[in-house]
Structure 1
């Protein structure tokens, strides 16, 4: 394997190539041999443009110039490196269009060009890369559509075009033409149309991230995607507000590795199916926020003992909050605000000692504030406003020194005085107790809450 080196004197030899870079505004020259096979310059401060004469290193198999301060474009001359297997140009401040000559890299298996300033269209010539396994152009400024020829590369395992300005739809035969697909990530673009039912045939799929687009229609069955650990389809226009919108959730009961399920901010109607409680016990994040779902929250949710975040806000859920939610002792975030829930706040919430955010506001909850919430010593946000809560404010709640962002108990029917230990809120930014029936004096200790805004 040939090597590269830097020295002040120009070395002799017909097979020696020199290229110039800049480091801190100072020009340097690097010499290498044309037999060079691996060139890794990642995580440095190289500036200037990518040398065009790198194309003379005809034996190059790996080129990594990621995480530098380069500028300009990818030279079209690099398309002559027929032995190149891996090309990495991540986070290198490159710009311009992706050269069509990249499609000539017939041996290329990995192409990662994320977090640059590339613009224009994705060249259709990339469809000629018949050995390619990974194409990643995330976080650029690419526009237009993904060329259909890319969807016909059967070797592809990962497509990552998130955070661009791409449009169009996903092909109807996606699950058949990409049998080896493991990652499909096109979030934060301008895609439209339905999710093809053929996606169920991509049985190797591990990640489905299509959020922040304008996909619409029904979500097809996902029953063959047994390996899925992550489904993120939020912030689209999926669903019709109808009762059968959530049938696809039932098809996920065989996805025993599922850890993240985020379907919020769509148009899903219907009831959460009871099978939701039998989802993978590995589930860490479940978010269905901002839809038009109704009915009761399935009690089976209390079986998802590894949940880190449960977000059911901005729906039309009714009924009580089940006491078995206290089983979710790994929970950090619980948000069921802006629904139509009634009944008491279960005292079992005090078992959720890792909670940092608890929002139950804008429901029809009744009864008293359970003093057991005083055991939630990591709480930073507690919002119980806009309910019909009564009784006094428990001193154990106002004793929570962890509350640093917001405590909102407003618009309830609370009575009695504000506990004197309210001064424990040394770091609290927002305290709202308006529109209740509180009486008595305002505690002097409130003056020690120096961060109140």
Structure 2
């Protein structure tokens, strides 16, 4: 219990020790307003001191969400003990601001089981990382509507089902979205372009099919786009050229077909382009062979043809196995002074450097 004793001093009665630098680092004249200033300072100090002594008060909804999540697991999280529930902010993988959970990071912890709806009650969650575990089943649709989420990483699990088609109606702050190395099927959500803050998208190594949704080309902040090892098909849209901030783009091991569009002139920051093991035909577009930013290019196992003359001011590695334009490519690469690896032949004996074919 705190007792506050307040005494009013006259203009000239204030003791010298209360005017010392310990209390005030500046000098004041004894004016009428000083009395109220002095009392306010004492009261503020008292209130501040009292607030630091308050006990931890948990958030009932966040606690309930965490306990519900743990009950759906087939394997226990060692220090998640309901008997110490008042201290859930100290549990492993949990980060709080005040009493609200803002980060849940339990990657590579060998967790098994399914994800329950209760996890979606963590409405202040900003980071959700559950990668490299053994989760199964589908993801609750409510999980795709956490309004403050910035990073979602469920990669390297055994999830299945479709990706929520309305996810971006709530994910306005989502920057990183990772669902790679699972068993998701169906098409890429048509409204993906509404995730306007998205910088990294990796949904590779799943069973996704169909074409790229046109809305994806509205993602002006996108730096990394990984779509490899799926069943995506149809010609590659010219809309890709609108992704002006793209640094890495991988569509290898899909079923894309037709001619590579001449869209690389708009991708002035692109450093990595992998499109191997598809069904592309025809010549390489001029904007691709003249790219001044491209460092890594892999177009192996397609049906590309025609003469090629690379302007390789930045190119370091190139892989063009089993295409028909390899001979002309070899001569055009003689002036590629930065080149560290070449792989052009139909077998590994035609390699240079350390490029993996």
Same-fold status (TM-score > 0.5): yes
1:255 corresponds to: 292
Give the Cα separation in 1 of the matches to 2:341 and 2:326: 20
Q: Sort the Cα spacing of 1:212 and 1:299 in 2 relative to 1 into closer, same or farther, 3 A.
A: same
Q: Secondary structure at the match of 2:184?
A: strand
Once the two structures are superposed, the pairs formed by residues 42-441 of structure 1 within 5 Å of their partners are: 59-128=100-169, 129-175=171-217, 177-221=218-262, 222-239=264-281, 242=282, 245-248=283-286, 250-256=287-293, 258-272=294-308, 274=309, 276=310, 278-281=311-314, 283-293=315-325, 296-314=328-346, 335=350
1:41 corresponds to: 93
User: Residue 15 of structure 1: CA displacement?
Assistant: 3.1
User: Residue 138 of structure 1: CA displacement?
Assistant: 0.4
2:42 corresponds to: none
Q: What is the TM-score normalised by the length of structure 1?
A: 0.57
Once the two structures are superposed, the pairs formed by residues 6-21 of structure 1 within 5 Å of their partners are: 15=58
* Structure 2 portions without partners, runs of 5+: 1-54
Contact 1:203–1:227 (Cα < 8 Å) also in 2:
yes
Contact 2:318–2:355 (Cα < 8 Å) also in 1:
no
Number of aligned positions between the proteins: 290
Deviations 1:6-62 (A, max 9, x none): xxxxxx9873859569999896543354784x86539xxxxxxxxxxx9xx971111
2:33 corresponds to: none
Higher relative contact order (CA 8 A, sep 6+): 2
User: Residue 198 of structure 1: CA displacement?
Assistant: 1.3
Contact 1:39–1:63 (Cα < 8 Å) also in 2:
no
Question: Could you say which structure has the higher helix fraction?
Answer: 2
Give the Cα separation in 1 of the matches to 2:356 and 2:184: 39
User: Residue 253 of structure 1: CA displacement?
Assistant: 2.6
Contact 2:129–2:153 (Cα < 8 Å) also in 1:
yes
Give the Cα separation in 2 of the matches to 1:198 and 1:130: 22
User: Residue 186 of structure 1: CA displacement?
Assistant: 0.8
Structure number with bigger Rg? 2
Contact 1:289–1:314 (Cα < 8 Å) also in 2:
yes
Deviations 1:331-372 (A, max 9, x none): xx8726xxxxxxxxxxxxxxx8xx57999xxxxxxxxxxxxx
Q: What is the TM-score normalised by the length of structure 2?
A: 0.72
Give the Cα separation in 1 of the matches to 2:173 and 2:354: 47
1:348 corresponds to: none
User: Residue 307 of structure 1: CA displacement?
Assistant: 2.7
Give the Cα separation in 2 of the matches to 1:198 and 1:26: 45
Give the Cα separation in 1 of the matches to 2:163 and 2:356: 44
Contact 1:114–1:138 (Cα < 8 Å) also in 2:
yes
Question: Could you say which structure has the higher strand fraction?
Answer: 1
Give the Cα separation in 2 of the matches to 1:121 and 1:358: 33
